[in-house]
Chains A and B, each alone.
Chain A
């Protein structure tokens, strides 16, 4: 029994990590007033860029070095998701386009890029079969050396690759920056009311661009974690599924707080796979259990809107385009 619970918790955390990256990224973006619905697409691109980088490296050298495997794919992933975020920021900030439409188009585009290169990468290199980067996957999966010596505790909580811890650290750091520093205060001010922030001398454009860019790059790491650690360097088309949308749901569940996003992500990760751990479920009732994360999100959404507590509301200018001369 204990070991089942332990393995469930372990699996919930593993499922939760990509969601945590995605939701932290989205929170940072939303705090500036940008509702980036392109996050699911950005996460796909983050994943496939990492795969492309790792693939090219693994195929250009005889013997791979783990740390370079990681560096190459990490950089490729960051560049990929940064470019995607730039498209969003340029369209919504500089060209003042509608955020929802831009975001949805970005998701269509990003999922397309992911699946296209996932399906055709090997053909470009005249190979067949499916993508699997064994060396890079192993490098990412390398756990803390002392984890296995700590028994059940170590196996449950310390057996992850380094990206998992990175996710938690990023969430905590962003929480501190948002709440304890001037930069965070400025960012929140812009999200609430860009005109006031502008009048106070804050460079609205720069903040919005940077927060979208940084948020997107963090979210992209979620895709990278998924393909490198979770599936150990293998790509399946649409394998990442709807996790990107789930990450956006967690932003609400966590009430726009990166610190709460940590636990929320693990809860959602758990709900995502709980059907495997409930004994005696028929395959049809499993499908019903899989509804849980979405149902929970809806309930939270309704409850926070009904209670109207000030500190639980989204940033006030969320989704609106700011144009200085408009009054």
Chain B
């Protein structure tokens, strides 16, 4: 090969896998990506609102921290998002693409609502709440179990299966509302608003405190489960390589089904918290897209439940903040989705620089 030909054929650089990078460098890269994404978001906000971006970001902070009420509402959103993120994490770590958290939450919530609506004033309140909790968890499990069993048995594509289950849950809720609301309206009002039967009680005068505490405990438990338990270990082996798992004697099918039961149960719990602790009613938008957002939250945190607190805070903060900008500057609240999307693009993209390095072809060749 002559010199000229070599020049045109060989690219200036090539990409190679990086050996493990120091953790602080990795977080430096991620931090840089978040800052870069905030700058891009600022540009977009300036173009749309023609305001000083610092003012806009100040407005966003006010949306989450402006008043105690806003702060608690943000915490409540954070708790639910975190709960669903914790739910999808074990399955996700196993490379089981559960895109059906939305439906599992919804069906879990529906199970709670059935009890709340039908036997609300017939049994003592503690019994009602306990049975609602059980019903929700079982409902969530049922919704996650179908795809898991068929995945284990025939290798049925789980991401598409769980996705379709979402819409079945949505239609079931729509059906239930049509049956329950006599006027034929598709909106259900507060259930048991006088007796408060089936409502989680206020704690220290705070409506959402129970939700938040439950999720906080769950976060720690999930961290320990994934990191220190045998189950957690099996999940990560199956996720890395099914063949390795089989080779060292892990029953892959059992792990898949067991993990999805856990995942579905936690989604059902989130449904219970939403119906009993937050909304006291049900609608098709109960999960509000959090089932999908949770996947990104979990992935951004690299499946670490403690870091998920931060990533779900980031998303909850963005959503509340964007809501505030939207009302202040009379824009549409969907700006939150745009900003969330951009930030996630940047964080997904920056992983490349953590896992790979770009080597110049020249320096390697020597002189």
Contacts and interface: CB of A to CB of B under 8 A. Distances in A.
Interface in B64-105: 97, 99
B224 interface: no
A301 B160 contact: yes
Given A105-B296, A112-B338, A294 B345 contact: no
Contacts, number: 161
Interface centre among A105, A116, A242, A297 (most CB of B within 10 A): A105
A298 B345 contact: no
A326 interface: yes
Measured as residues with beta carbon below 8 angstroms from the partner, the interface class of chain B is 35 or more
A114 B332 CA distance: 11
Contact of B296 (A101, A284, A301): A101
B87 to A, nearest CB: 16
A87 interface: yes
A93 to B, nearest CB: 11
A306 B167 CA distance: 23
A240 to B, nearest CB: 13
Contacts of A105: 296, 340-341, 344-345, 348
Nearest to B97: A100
* Interface residue SS majority, chain B: helix
Contacts of B168: 291, 294-295, 298
Contacts of A108: 289, 292-293, 296, 337, 340-341, 344
Contact of B165 (A113, A298, A302): A298
Nearest to A87: B345
Given A105-B345, A283-B184, A112 B171 contact: no
B222 interface: no
B336 A112 contact: yes
A104 B295 contact: yes
Contacts of A262: none
B119 interface: no
B171 A290 contact: yes
A294 B348 contact: no
Given A108-B292, A302-B156, A305-B155, A116 B349 contact: no
Contact of A287 (B15, B154, B178): B178
Interface in A305-327: 305-306, 308, 314, 323, 325-326
A246 to B, nearest CB: 9
Interface stretch (B1-9, B257-265, B306-314, B351-359): B351-359
A285 B330 CA distance: 40
Contacts of A95: 348-349, 351-352
Which 4 pairs between the two chains have the least Cβ-Cβ distance?
A112-B337, A109-B341, A119-B332, A284-B178
Interface of A: 35, 37, 87, 91, 94-98, 100-102, 104-116, 118-120, 123, 237, 242, 245, 248-249, 252, 282-285, 287-288, 290-291, 293-295, 297-298, 301-302, 305-306, 308, 314, 323, 325-326
26 contacts: A91-B345, A97-B351, A98-B348, A102-B345, A104-B99, A108-B293, A108-B344, A110-B341, A111-B334, A112-B337, A112-B338, A116-B332, A116-B334, A116-B337, A120-B48, A123-B331, A242-B167, A284-B179, A288-B175, A298-B161, A298-B164, A301-B157, A301-B160, A301-B164, A302-B154, A325-B16
